[in-house]
């Protein structure tokens, strides 16, 4: 794991970054600032805050001390310049594109994604006049061929849901660089513990903090993290950042804020207008969850690999899609981009198709049948009848969510107990 700080390693930063002791009370646990607004020192102070001339807190739709602590922690762990926390992972995807897109513009999107993201980009974004162009995740050249004058971003999912697909980050980052557009990577499944996409050329990273970062299945949230390296200044493709802003007396974000331009815009305009703000309580829960992220991911990964190896040998299993298996077409990419482990969310196909998939869900005892991943508990889902239900059969197959597919999110329980539960469930088919 790359050292993100000259003095401290990843595990130390997961505990300490962004959450210094409270200077007023000395409280060691970071407080929940459960407030909507903040008192100004005087009229001049208020004016300077609203003019973006001075940092500070105005209203909790824009930012909040607890939320700001989470933003600092996540930006630190990803090796980024700044972060913007949102109310959900979907909100983060929308907020990530908001400064970049305009009616008629295009975003090139990998076709192996969480089903909800495919719907969001392929259908809902059309209401904004944004066009999503889906291409083969496994073929970097397909991204290059899809680039047009209207392209404003490339969006991919690292360790893609549901099948744990490893994307060639470096190759696609080169395509984005040549096209002069930012590469946005959804790093939810990998987390910054397993992979830091900025090292491979990504410009923006998004997460659903609901998943592994929180880790307990009790706080919904998202985040957009900026590398601070994309050249916005003078770039006519992105007038929101490179042209004078009428909302702030002609201020140009790229000129005024430099490598913080994107993050400042995301707070001052994106959160202000979209209102997709994360609550202080959810931010506080997530802050606490991240402290144990390295420990949990180590167990998630070791358990996931053991379960995948078990399933690969079972008579009722047709195939297993897990990048940590030598049989996986993503094994070599996994070693390159995810040397600490290839996560714990993956799919397998049961013999008997759709009906066997449903029987499997009914037979498990330890696993929870829920539409979530990244929990401490082991979770199971049949994507074709749930998360990918709204897609066409062709889209489901492309996304790795065919009729026979079962998705597992392996938790941190005793691996022997997890395997025993799957064993008895498979024997019921």
Decide if 407 is inside a domain: yes
Residue 307 has pLDDT above 90, yes or no: yes
Same domain (yes/no): 254, 336: no
Last residue of one domain, picked from the residues 289, 304, 323 = 289
Same domain (yes/no): 338, 415: yes
Same domain (yes/no): 341, 412: yes
Reduce the secondary structure of the chain to three states and give it as a string. CCCCCCCCCHHHHHHHCCCCCCCCCCCCCCCCCCCCECCCCCHHHHHHHHCCCCCCCCECCCCCHHHHHHHHHHHHHHCCCEEEEECCHHHHHHHHHCCCCCCCCEEEEECCCCHHHHHHHHCHHHHHCCEEEEECCCCHHHHHHHCCCCEEEEEEECCECCCCECCCHHHHHHHHHHHCCCEEEECCCCHHHHCCHHHHCCCEEEEECCCCCCCCCCCCCEEEEECCCCCCCCCCCCHHHHCCEHHHCCECHHHHHHHHHHHHHHHHHHHHHHCCCCCHHHHHHHHHHHCCHHHHHHHHHHHHHHHHHHHHCCCCEEEEECCCCCCCCCHHHHHHHCCCCCCCEEEEEECCHHHHHHHHHHHCCCCEECCCCCCCCCEEECHHHCCCCCCCHHHHHHCCCCCCEEEEECCCCCHHHHHHHHHHHHCCC
Last residue of one domain, picked from the residues 259, 289, 319 = 289
Residues 277-300 have a mean pLDDT of: 97
Same domain (yes/no): 297, 421: yes
Same domain (yes/no): 300, 266: no
Kindly report the average pLDDT of the chain as a whole number: 93
Same domain (yes/no): 298, 414: yes
Same domain (yes/no): 243, 302: no
Decide if 157 is inside a domain: no
For the domain that residue 331 is a member of, what is the CATH number? 3.90.1150.10
Q: Which of 173-177, 236-240, 274-278, 371-375 has the lowest mean pLDDT?
A: 371-375
Same domain (yes/no): 204, 345: no
Residue-level pLDDT at 389 = 65
Same domain (yes/no): 280, 308: no
Same domain (yes/no): 78, 206: yes
Structural domain containing residue 204: 10-100+182-289
Domain count for the chain, please give it. 2
Same domain (yes/no): 245, 327: no
pLDDT tens profile 23-58: 888 899 999 999 999 999 999 999 999 999 999 999
Decide if 132 is inside a domain: no
Same domain (yes/no): 357, 223: no
Decide if 282 is inside a domain: yes
Residue-level pLDDT at 396 = 67
For the domain that residue 77 is a member of, what is the CATH number? 3.40.640.10
Decide if 46 is inside a domain: yes
Q: Which of 98-107, 299-308, 381-390 has the lowest mean pLDDT?
A: 381-390
Last residue of one domain, picked from the residues 289, 315, 333 = 289
Decide if 164 is inside a domain: no
């Amino acid at each position: 794991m790359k050292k993100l700080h000259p003095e401290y390693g990843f595990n130390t930063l997961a505990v300490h970054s962004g959450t210094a002791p409270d200077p007023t009370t000395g409280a060691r646990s970071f407080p929940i600032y459960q407030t909507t607004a903040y008192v100004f020192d005087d009229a001049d102070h208020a004016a300077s805050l609203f003019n973006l001339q001075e940092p500070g807190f105005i209203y909790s739709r824009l930012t909040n001390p607890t939320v700001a602590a989470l933003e600092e922690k996540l930006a630190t762990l990803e090796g980024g310049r700044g972060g913007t926390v949102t109310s959900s992972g979907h909100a983060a995807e929308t907020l990530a594109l908001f400064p970049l897109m305009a009616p008629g513009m295009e975003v090139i999107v990998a076709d192996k994604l969480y089903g909800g993201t495919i719907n969001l980009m392929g259908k809902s974004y059309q209401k904004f006049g944004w066009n999503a162009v889906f291409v083969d995740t496994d073929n970097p050249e397909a991204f290059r061929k899809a680039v047009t004058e209207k392209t404003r971003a490339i969006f991919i999912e690292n360790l893609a849901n549901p099948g744990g697909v490893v994307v060639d980050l470096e190759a696609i980052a080169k395509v984005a660089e040549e096209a002069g557009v930012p590469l946005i990577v959804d790093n939810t499944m990998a987390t910054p513990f397993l992979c830091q996409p900025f090292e491979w050329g990504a410009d923006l990273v998004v997460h659903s903090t609901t998943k592994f970062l929180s880790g307990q299945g009790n706080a919904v949230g998202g985040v957009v993290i900026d590398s601070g390296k994309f050249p916005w200044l003078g770039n006519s493709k992105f007038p929101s950042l490179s042209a004078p802003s009428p909302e702030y007396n002609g201020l140009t974000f790229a000129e005024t804020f430099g490598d913080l331009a994107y993050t400042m815009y995301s707070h001052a305009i994106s959160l202000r207008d979209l209102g997709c703000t994360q609550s202080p309580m959810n931010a506080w829960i997530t802050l606490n969850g991240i402290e144990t992220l390295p420990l949990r991911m180590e167990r998630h990964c070791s358990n996931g690999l053991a379960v995948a190896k078990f399933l690969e040998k079972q008579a009722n299993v047709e195939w297993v899609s897990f990048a940590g298996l030598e049989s996986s077409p993503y094994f070599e990419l996994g070693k390159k981009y995810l040397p600490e482990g290839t996560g714990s969310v993956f799919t397998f196909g049961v013999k008997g198709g759709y009906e066997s998939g449903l029987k499997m869900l009914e037979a498990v005892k330890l696993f929870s049948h829920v539409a979530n991943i990244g929990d401490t508990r082991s979770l199971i889902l049949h994507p074709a009848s749930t998360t990918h239900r709204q897609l066409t059969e062709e889209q489901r197959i492309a996304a790795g969510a065919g009729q026979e597919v079962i998705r597992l999110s392996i938790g941190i329980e005793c691996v022997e107990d997890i395997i025993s539960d799957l064993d008895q469930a498979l024997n019921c088919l």
